[in-house]
Structure 1
């Protein structure tokens, strides 16, 4: 029971953040906004969406609802998936934590950033080649 409560206490704030952000995207962001901001070709939109994952300070609890809102707003599923994978791995909180965990080794921060972003972008590009929209239902 204590583990359940601990997980809930840690996850609920981030889940709430994600739900609030996804609701804000649905309510306040015009439908054509992402078509103007992201490149038109999904292969180019994937790395841009991955880099945008750095601005969401949260775990996957926050990035999953936001990625769903992005898809509903017309963002290519591969780009939304890349955002969803990159956000928990390259956000400022994680990078600062990595810096604190490895004092005197700033290369670890850069290694984490590049490896995580590279993996997320690779998965996004893989989705473009092999993914199917019906899997999202």
Structure 2
């Protein structure tokens, strides 16, 4: 399953666990039937940041890379990997297919950026909006 997930062929671990338990208990789940038959338009995962131990990100913030990513698992979907770097930085890698008229990685990234700014404003109400 680990290799399948790395190549975009895995499924969400929580749903997979529910599926296994339902089979073990002999429970027929209409929810799982529906969810597992739908296309996965958003595939996300956190990318590990092993290099954090090798560099002081406070002293050298420009040396932190955005990491890698993975592609979308649906033709009209997105692949989004993210890295939580310390207390003040989250990086995102967003991918989509040019062939889909419904996807736009730049637009999706701008929406994520705005959502992050909105969340920050909730915690810092006196801070000016960017």
Q: How does the TM-score come out when normalised to structure 1?
A: 0.41
Query: Going by fraction, where is strand more abundant, 1 or 2?
Result: 2
Q: How does the TM-score come out when normalised to structure 2?
A: 0.42
Query: Going by fraction, where is helix more abundant, 1 or 2?
Result: 1
Structure with higher Rg: it is: 2
Higher relative contact order (CA 8 A, sep 6+): 1
